Amino acid sequence: METAYIKTPVGIARIEGDEHGVSVISIVDEATQLSPEIPNILSKAAQELHEYFEGERRDFSFALNPRGTDFQKAVWQELRDIPFGKTTSYMELSRKLGDVKAIRAVAAANGKNPLWIVVPCHRVIGSDGSLTGYAGGLWRKKWLLEHETPPVQHRLF
């Protein structure tokens, strides 16, 4: 397993993976030294995350290898299907997975998402439009949502 630490506008990100794909991307709140070199296995992920933060990328193409239960993986796949710049609710995710009563299980799986940004759990909000819990902190969730939906400049003349 290789690990790299990269700088993002919202903190230091840790990327972990091997020849089978990236298994973890997380935000690190404690002081951590940036990786002087990115391992080859993780270089595409680091580059694509950089492009995302620069506003040049909306989708990711590097191999993923998250660890989780079949149910968690099904939820994470639904999260990947949320379009860039859009949001959904836990209730809507539960509906798409075929069981509205599974809303708490869906929320728990969302909270265990090991692939920050790439599996966009930040795009899940409350049914009333409120920002709900986010492992990286609500300020980061707000930042990411604003990054994906910048204000539109209307013509002045």
The catalytic site residues sit at: 121
Q: Are 116 and 25 in contact (CB under 8 A)?
A: yes
Strand extents, DSSP E, the chain:
2-8, 11-18, 21-28, 88-89, 124-125
Cα–Cα distances in angstroms (integers) from residue 102 to residues 75, 78, 125, 132, in the given order = 11, 14, 16, 17
